[in-house]
Amino acid sequence: MKKNLTIASPSADSVVDAAGKDTSPSQTVRAQLQLRELVLSGELPAGVRIAELSIVERLGMSRTPIRAALVQLEQEGLLVALAHGGYAVASFSEREIADAIELRGCLEGLLARLAAERGAAPVVMNEARAALREIDELLRRPMLTDETFPIYVDANERFHARLAEMADSDVIARQLERVNRLPFASPSAFVIAQSSSADSRDMLVVAQSQHWQVLDAIDRRESGRAEAIMREHSRIAQRNLRAAVNDHHGHAALEHPPGVQLIRRR
């Protein structure tokens, strides 16, 4: 019987963190990341049972870490537990996605309000401003290209992450993270879908205005205003959702954001 099966699978999994040292994630973490990728990329069809063994041979590890990953993804809402054991990929109606976005707006609004009431740490505020200045820079050009778009997405996510820090509330920030892990609910989910759209830049300009305004509101301790802005901010995503779904249903071969096939068409 062969031992030492712990040797890493040939696929390049070793991760190098910011400090440069090689932090090789545990099998469980790898399983979680790769399985999530498998779900979002649509390789696993929604609704049908996921055979553990098929994942085992696909990811090249034992059942134990894979089961752990299944449990976690079920908790995240990406999988649904089946009646007599096992899991299936979840699918979402257009309204469920809209609800998830509304939920994010609600939570970000709460965080913005608390930040305004409690006062945000200057360091975090500056990091947020730095992210916004990057976006300002990008928006100076008449249109965003395939190279500049990833930069926008990155800066946008950094801004939203800092905003979540400002209220200094781990409990709420944690919940927001959960919501953001739902497909389509995260801040820049539908930005991608709209990248090719003609007036996509205008949408980003509006969003960016709200970004600056909410920082201003937090600075001035105008908590009600801060909350209202973030709520309204999420409604841009609502608009993009509708546009993306229509595009998706129309011409099939459009550039998809990860996870479109999880949308349950009526």
Partner DNA sequence: TAGGACATTGATGTATACAAAATAAGGCTG
Partner DNA sequence: CAGCCTTATTTTGTATACATCAATGTCCTA
Binding mask 78-117 for DNA (x = CB under 7 A): -----xxxx-------------------------------
Nearest to 259 by CA among 194, 189, 197: 189
Q: Which stretch binds its own copies (CB under 8 A): 10-18, 130-138, 148-156, 174-182?
A: 174-182
> Is residue 102 a contact residue for its own copies (CB under 8 A)?
yes
Query: Which tokens go with 16?
Result: 């190098």
Contact indicator for 178, 246 with CB cutoff of 8 Å? no
In this complex, which beta carbon is closest to its own copies, that of residue 121 or of residue 172?
172
3-state secondary structure of 128: helix
> Is residue 63 a contact residue for DNA (CB under 7 A)?
yes
Among 29, 38, 68, 254, binds its own copies (CB under 8 A): 68
Contact indicator for 139, 200 with CB cutoff of 8 Å? no
In this complex, which beta carbon is closest to DNA, that of residue 13 or of residue 154?
13
13 binds, among its own copies, DNA, none (CB under 5 to 8 A by kind): none
DSSP state of 82: -
CB of 132 to its own copies, least distance (A): 25
CB of 175 to its own copies, least distance (A): 6
Question: Helix H segments across 77-139?
Answer: 94-118, 122-139
Distance of CA 244 to the CA centre of its chain: 16
182 binds, among DNA, its own copies, none (CB under 5 to 8 A by kind): its own copies
Among 53, 123, 130, 205, binds DNA (CB under 7 A): 53
CB of 143 to DNA, least distance (A): 45
Contact indicator for 30, 69 with CB cutoff of 8 Å? no
d(C-alpha 145, C-alpha 117), whole Å: 39
Nearest to 30 by CA among 2, 48, 53, 6: 6
Query: Which tokens go with 141?
Result: 């050009």
Interface residues with its own copies (CB under 8 A) are 67-68, 71-72, 75, 77, 92, 95-96, 99-100, 102-103, 106-107, 110, 114, 169-172, 174-175, 178-179, 182
